[in-house]
Structure 1
Amino acid sequence: MLLVERVLGSRIDPLLSDRLHHLEHHGQVDILNLPAAELARRRFRATSAAGEEIAIALPRDQKLFDGAVLVLEDHKAIVVRVDSEHWLRLQPRSIADAVELGYHAGNLHWRVRFQGEALLVALEAPVDSYLDRLGTLITERRVVTSVSKTDDL
Protein backbone atom coordinates (compact mmCIF):
# COMPACT_ATOMS: atom_id res chain seq x y z
CA MET A 1 0.00 0.00 0.00
CA LEU A 2 1.24 3.46 -0.94
CA LEU A 3 1.28 6.00 1.90
CA VAL A 4 0.72 9.64 0.87
CA GLU A 5 1.57 12.13 3.61
CA ARG A 6 1.51 15.38 1.66
CA VAL A 7 0.17 17.05 -1.47
CA LEU A 8 3.02 17.95 -3.83
CA GLY A 9 1.08 20.71 -5.57
CA SER A 10 -1.46 21.27 -8.33
CA ARG A 11 -1.43 19.70 -11.78
CA ILE A 12 -1.50 23.22 -13.21
CA ASP A 13 1.61 24.40 -11.36
CA PRO A 14 4.22 25.19 -14.04
CA LEU A 15 6.90 23.16 -12.25
CA LEU A 16 4.67 20.06 -12.16
CA SER A 17 2.61 20.37 -15.34
CA ASP A 18 5.51 19.75 -17.76
CA ARG A 19 6.51 16.54 -15.99
CA LEU A 20 2.89 15.40 -15.80
CA HIS A 21 2.39 16.13 -19.49
CA HIS A 22 5.38 13.93 -20.35
CA LEU A 23 4.11 11.10 -18.10
CA GLU A 24 0.60 11.37 -19.59
CA HIS A 25 2.02 10.77 -23.07
CA HIS A 26 3.58 7.57 -21.78
CA GLY A 27 0.43 6.39 -19.96
CA GLN A 28 2.07 6.72 -16.56
CA VAL A 29 -0.41 9.02 -14.80
CA ASP A 30 -2.81 7.23 -12.48
CA ILE A 31 -6.00 8.93 -11.27
CA LEU A 32 -7.46 8.84 -7.78
CA ASN A 33 -11.18 9.58 -8.29
CA LEU A 34 -12.83 10.94 -5.16
CA PRO A 35 -16.31 12.14 -4.32
CA ALA A 36 -16.30 15.81 -3.31
CA ALA A 37 -17.31 14.86 0.24
CA GLU A 38 -13.97 13.06 0.72
CA LEU A 39 -11.95 16.23 0.22
CA ALA A 40 -12.50 17.35 3.80
CA ARG A 41 -10.99 14.14 5.17
CA ARG A 42 -7.29 13.94 6.00
CA ARG A 43 -6.97 10.22 6.75
CA PHE A 44 -8.55 7.47 4.65
CA ARG A 45 -7.83 4.68 2.20
CA ALA A 46 -8.77 4.59 -1.46
CA THR A 47 -8.00 2.73 -4.67
CA SER A 48 -6.75 4.48 -7.79
CA ALA A 49 -8.11 3.91 -11.29
CA ALA A 50 -5.18 1.55 -11.96
CA GLY A 51 -5.99 -0.44 -8.81
CA GLU A 52 -3.26 0.88 -6.50
CA GLU A 53 -4.19 0.93 -2.82
CA ILE A 54 -3.46 4.34 -1.34
CA ALA A 55 -3.48 5.44 2.30
CA ILE A 56 -3.92 9.20 2.69
CA ALA A 57 -2.55 10.75 5.90
CA LEU A 58 -2.28 14.51 5.39
CA PRO A 59 -1.18 17.08 7.97
CA ARG A 60 -3.79 19.54 9.24
CA ASP A 61 -2.55 22.36 7.04
CA GLN A 62 -3.15 20.46 3.78
CA LYS A 63 -6.33 19.54 1.92
CA LEU A 64 -7.05 17.50 -1.15
CA PHE A 65 -8.49 19.23 -4.22
CA ASP A 66 -9.25 18.52 -7.84
CA GLY A 67 -5.88 18.27 -9.58
CA ALA A 68 -3.82 17.62 -6.42
CA VAL A 69 -0.60 15.81 -7.30
CA LEU A 70 0.05 13.07 -4.75
CA VAL A 71 2.93 11.23 -6.42
CA LEU A 72 5.38 12.49 -9.04
CA GLU A 73 8.24 10.15 -9.85
CA ASP A 74 10.28 9.43 -12.99
CA HIS A 75 7.86 6.77 -14.25
CA LYS A 76 4.67 7.36 -12.30
CA ALA A 77 2.31 10.06 -11.09
CA ILE A 78 -0.95 10.01 -9.16
CA VAL A 79 -3.39 12.92 -9.48
CA VAL A 80 -6.71 13.52 -7.69
CA ARG A 81 -9.86 14.00 -9.75
CA VAL A 82 -13.06 15.03 -8.00
CA ASP A 83 -16.36 13.58 -9.15
CA SER A 84 -19.12 16.02 -10.05
CA GLU A 85 -21.03 16.95 -6.96
CA HIS A 86 -24.82 16.89 -6.86
CA TRP A 87 -26.82 19.50 -4.98
CA LEU A 88 -30.39 19.54 -3.76
CA ARG A 89 -31.88 22.98 -4.40
CA LEU A 90 -34.45 23.99 -1.80
CA GLN A 91 -36.55 27.08 -2.52
CA PRO A 92 -38.75 28.12 0.43
CA ARG A 93 -42.08 29.76 -0.42
CA SER A 94 -42.12 32.19 2.52
CA ILE A 95 -39.83 33.74 5.10
CA ALA A 96 -41.26 31.45 7.79
CA ASP A 97 -40.52 28.42 5.61
CA ALA A 98 -36.98 29.73 5.01
CA VAL A 99 -36.35 30.07 8.75
CA GLU A 100 -37.63 26.55 9.41
CA LEU A 101 -35.57 25.16 6.52
CA GLY A 102 -32.43 26.86 7.83
CA TYR A 103 -33.11 25.49 11.31
CA HIS A 104 -33.36 21.92 9.97
CA ALA A 105 -30.27 22.22 7.75
CA GLY A 106 -28.22 23.59 10.65
CA ASN A 107 -29.40 20.98 13.14
CA LEU A 108 -28.68 18.18 10.67
CA HIS A 109 -25.20 19.61 9.92
CA TRP A 110 -25.79 19.55 6.18
CA ARG A 111 -23.11 21.08 3.99
CA VAL A 112 -24.84 24.00 2.26
CA ARG A 113 -24.35 26.96 -0.03
CA PHE A 114 -26.68 29.75 -1.01
CA GLN A 115 -27.97 30.75 -4.42
CA GLY A 116 -30.18 33.81 -4.20
CA GLU A 117 -33.11 32.85 -1.98
CA ALA A 118 -32.46 29.10 -2.42
CA LEU A 119 -30.53 26.82 -0.11
CA LEU A 120 -28.29 24.26 -1.85
CA VAL A 121 -27.51 21.07 0.07
CA ALA A 122 -24.60 18.84 -0.98
CA LEU A 123 -25.96 15.35 -1.63
CA GLU A 124 -23.99 12.78 0.31
CA ALA A 125 -26.89 10.31 0.54
CA PRO A 126 -29.99 9.53 -1.55
CA VAL A 127 -32.23 12.57 -2.17
CA ASP A 128 -35.17 10.93 -0.39
CA SER A 129 -33.15 10.82 2.84
CA TYR A 130 -32.97 14.62 2.83
CA LEU A 131 -36.57 15.13 1.78
CA ASP A 132 -37.83 12.75 4.48
CA ARG A 133 -35.96 14.73 7.14
CA LEU A 134 -37.70 17.93 6.07
CA GLY A 135 -41.15 16.41 6.67
CA THR A 136 -44.04 18.82 6.23
CA LEU A 137 -41.87 21.41 4.50
CA ILE A 138 -41.84 18.99 1.57
CA THR A 139 -45.17 17.18 1.92
CA GLU A 140 -47.08 20.46 2.22
CA ARG A 141 -45.05 21.92 -0.68
CA ARG A 142 -43.70 24.76 1.47
CA VAL A 143 -40.29 24.16 -0.14
CA VAL A 144 -39.79 23.51 -3.87
CA THR A 145 -36.98 21.09 -4.76
CA SER A 146 -34.72 20.19 -7.67
CA VAL A 147 -31.34 18.45 -8.10
CA SER A 148 -28.38 19.62 -10.18
CA LYS A 149 -24.68 18.89 -10.68
CA THR A 150 -21.97 21.32 -9.62
CA ASP A 151 -21.29 22.07 -13.28
CA ASP A 152 -24.90 23.25 -13.73
CA LEU A 153 -24.83 25.82 -10.92
Structure 2
Amino acid sequence: MIINQVVSHIESLNAEERNRRHMERVFLQSDDLVKRIQRVVTDHGNELGISLGQSKELVHGDVLYMDDHSLIVIHVIPDELLVIHPRTIQEMGEIAHKLGNRHLPAQFERDQMLLQYDYLVEELLQNEGIPYSREKMAVKKAFRHVEHRH
Protein backbone atom coordinates (compact mmCIF):
# COMPACT_ATOMS: atom_id res chain seq x y z
CA MET A 1 0.00 0.00 0.00
CA ILE A 2 1.23 3.51 -0.84
CA ILE A 3 0.26 6.37 1.51
CA ASN A 4 0.06 9.77 -0.25
CA GLN A 5 -1.52 11.81 2.54
CA VAL A 6 -2.28 11.86 6.23
CA VAL A 7 -5.95 10.97 6.75
CA SER A 8 -6.46 12.44 10.22
CA HIS A 9 -4.85 12.70 13.63
CA ILE A 10 -5.62 10.24 16.41
CA GLU A 11 -6.56 13.06 18.81
CA SER A 12 -9.23 14.35 16.40
CA LEU A 13 -11.06 11.01 16.56
CA ASN A 14 -13.50 10.48 19.40
CA ALA A 15 -13.17 7.48 21.71
CA GLU A 16 -15.90 5.51 19.91
CA GLU A 17 -14.19 6.02 16.53
CA ARG A 18 -10.85 4.81 17.96
CA ASN A 19 -12.18 1.89 19.98
CA ARG A 20 -14.22 0.27 17.22
CA ARG A 21 -11.19 0.04 14.92
CA HIS A 22 -8.18 -2.26 15.16
CA MET A 23 -5.03 -0.11 15.47
CA GLU A 24 -1.69 -0.82 13.84
CA ARG A 25 1.31 1.38 14.60
CA VAL A 26 4.25 2.50 12.51
CA PHE A 27 7.17 3.13 14.87
CA LEU A 28 9.50 5.89 13.63
CA GLN A 29 12.57 7.63 14.99
CA SER A 30 11.98 11.38 15.33
CA ASP A 31 14.47 12.00 12.49
CA ASP A 32 12.27 9.97 10.13
CA LEU A 33 9.30 12.31 10.59
CA VAL A 34 10.78 14.74 8.04
CA LYS A 35 11.31 12.13 5.31
CA ARG A 36 8.71 12.59 2.59
CA ILE A 37 9.43 9.23 0.94
CA GLN A 38 10.11 6.09 2.95
CA ARG A 39 9.24 2.43 3.29
CA VAL A 40 7.95 1.32 6.70
CA VAL A 41 6.53 -1.77 8.37
CA THR A 42 3.67 -1.73 10.89
CA ASP A 43 3.80 -3.55 14.21
CA HIS A 44 1.67 -6.23 12.50
CA GLY A 45 4.24 -6.77 9.73
CA ASN A 46 2.39 -4.92 6.96
CA GLU A 47 4.69 -3.01 4.61
CA LEU A 48 3.75 0.52 3.52
CA GLY A 49 5.28 3.06 1.20
CA ILE A 50 4.93 6.68 2.29
CA SER A 51 5.14 9.37 -0.39
CA LEU A 52 3.90 12.70 0.94
CA GLY A 53 3.61 16.14 -0.68
CA GLN A 54 6.42 18.69 -0.63
CA SER A 55 5.73 20.48 2.65
CA LYS A 56 4.12 17.73 4.76
CA GLU A 57 5.99 16.32 7.74
CA LEU A 58 4.67 13.52 9.88
CA VAL A 59 3.85 14.01 13.55
CA HIS A 60 3.19 11.62 16.42
CA GLY A 61 -0.43 10.45 16.16
CA ASP A 62 -0.91 11.00 12.41
CA VAL A 63 -3.38 8.52 10.94
CA LEU A 64 -2.01 7.15 7.67
CA TYR A 65 -4.92 4.86 6.88
CA MET A 66 -8.44 4.42 8.19
CA ASP A 67 -11.41 2.35 7.14
CA ASP A 68 -14.42 1.00 9.05
CA HIS A 69 -12.32 -1.71 10.70
CA SER A 70 -8.73 -0.47 11.11
CA LEU A 71 -6.34 2.42 11.63
CA ILE A 72 -2.62 2.82 10.92
CA VAL A 73 -1.05 5.44 13.20
CA ILE A 74 2.43 7.01 13.49
CA HIS A 75 4.08 6.38 16.84
CA VAL A 76 7.39 8.12 17.60
CA ILE A 77 10.08 6.11 19.36
CA PRO A 78 11.30 7.92 22.50
CA ASP A 79 14.56 9.90 22.22
CA GLU A 80 17.14 10.61 24.93
CA LEU A 81 16.46 14.27 25.76
CA LEU A 82 17.67 17.02 28.01
CA VAL A 83 14.64 18.74 29.51
CA ILE A 84 15.58 22.18 30.78
CA HIS A 85 13.46 23.64 33.60
CA PRO A 86 14.40 27.34 33.87
CA ARG A 87 13.35 29.05 37.09
CA THR A 88 12.94 32.54 35.58
CA ILE A 89 12.46 34.13 32.18
CA GLN A 90 15.95 35.64 32.50
CA GLU A 91 17.47 32.22 33.11
CA MET A 92 15.59 30.90 30.06
CA GLY A 93 16.86 33.76 27.93
CA GLU A 94 20.47 33.31 29.03
CA ILE A 95 20.58 29.56 28.45
CA ALA A 96 18.69 29.89 25.17
CA HIS A 97 21.28 32.42 24.00
CA LYS A 98 24.20 30.16 24.95
CA LEU A 99 22.60 27.15 23.29
CA GLY A 100 21.58 29.21 20.26
CA ASN A 101 25.23 29.91 19.54
CA ARG A 102 25.63 26.15 19.07
CA HIS A 103 22.77 26.08 16.52
CA LEU A 104 21.03 23.22 18.30
CA PRO A 105 17.42 22.48 17.42
CA ALA A 106 15.08 22.84 20.38
CA GLN A 107 11.42 22.37 21.14
CA PHE A 108 9.31 24.02 23.81
CA GLU A 109 6.50 22.45 25.82
CA ARG A 110 4.80 24.38 28.57
CA ASP A 111 7.68 25.99 30.52
CA GLN A 112 10.33 23.49 29.40
CA MET A 113 12.96 23.48 26.68
CA LEU A 114 13.66 20.11 25.03
CA LEU A 115 16.97 19.24 23.36
CA GLN A 116 18.34 15.99 21.98
CA TYR A 117 20.87 14.62 24.45
CA ASP A 118 24.40 15.96 24.08
CA TYR A 119 27.03 15.45 26.78
CA LEU A 120 28.55 18.89 26.11
CA VAL A 121 25.20 20.59 26.65
CA GLU A 122 24.68 18.56 29.82
CA GLU A 123 28.08 19.75 31.04
CA LEU A 124 27.16 23.38 30.24
CA LEU A 125 23.88 23.07 32.16
CA GLN A 126 25.70 21.60 35.16
CA ASN A 127 28.35 24.34 35.10
CA GLU A 128 25.71 27.10 34.80
CA GLY A 129 23.55 25.59 37.57
CA ILE A 130 20.52 25.38 35.28
CA PRO A 131 17.95 22.84 36.45
CA TYR A 132 17.44 20.05 33.92
CA SER A 133 16.62 16.38 33.70
CA ARG A 134 17.69 13.66 31.31
CA GLU A 135 14.61 11.81 30.07
CA LYS A 136 13.57 9.34 27.44
CA MET A 137 10.57 10.91 25.70
CA ALA A 138 8.74 10.73 22.39
CA VAL A 139 8.62 14.15 20.77
CA LYS A 140 5.54 15.10 18.78
CA LYS A 141 7.51 16.46 15.83
CA ALA A 142 11.03 16.21 14.46
CA PHE A 143 13.85 18.40 15.72
CA ARG A 144 14.59 20.87 12.91
CA HIS A 145 17.79 22.81 12.40
CA VAL A 146 17.16 26.51 11.90
CA GLU A 147 18.54 28.21 8.81
CA HIS A 148 21.17 30.72 9.87
CA ARG A 149 23.78 33.11 8.54
CA HIS A 150 26.72 34.75 10.25
TM range (shorter): 0.5 to 0.7
**2-structure distance, mates of 1:53, 1:45:** 7
TM-score (normalizing by structure 1): 0.59
SS of the equivalent of 2:74 reads strand
**Does the 8 Å contact 1:5/1:58 carry over to 2?**
yes
**Aligned residue runs from structure 1 range 43-82, under 5 A:** 43-73=37-67, 77-82=71-76
Aligned match of 1:132: 120
Aligned-pair RMSD on alpha carbons? 3.9
List per-residue Cα deviations over 1:60-89 (Å, max 9, x = no partner). Answer: 353423332212356654222234565412
1:146 aligns with 2:133: yes
1:120 aligns with 2:119: no
How far did 1:113 drift? 1.6
Which protein is bigger by CA-based radius of gyration? 1
**Does the 8 Å contact 2:9/2:61 carry over to 1?**
yes
The number of aligned residues is: 136
* Higher relative contact order (CA closer than 8 Å, sequence separation 6+): 2
Extract unaligned runs of 5+ from structure 2.
Answer: 139-150
**Does the 8 Å contact 2:83/2:115 carry over to 1?**
no
Extract unaligned runs of 5+ from structure 1.
Answer: none
Change in CA separation of 1:93 and 1:141 when aligned onto 2, cut-off 3 Å: farther
**Does the 8 Å contact 1:8/1:71 carry over to 2?**
yes
Q: Which amino acid aligns with 1:111?
A: A
List per-residue Cα deviations over 1:23-76 (Å, max 9, x = no partner). Answer: 42xxxx321123444334333332211122333221135342333221235665
1:6 aligns with 2:8: no
TM-score (normalizing by structure 2): 0.59
Identity across aligned pairs (percent)? 18
Among candidates 14, 24, 28, match of residue 30 of structure 1: 24
**1-structure distance, mates of 2:8, 2:34:** 17
More helix by share: 1
Aligned match of 1:107: 102
Change in CA separation of 1:101 and 1:131 when aligned onto 2, cut-off 3 Å: farther
**Does the 8 Å contact 2:9/2:62 carry over to 1?**
yes
SS of the equivalent of 1:65 reads coil
Among candidates 82, 88, 106, match of residue 88 of structure 1: 82
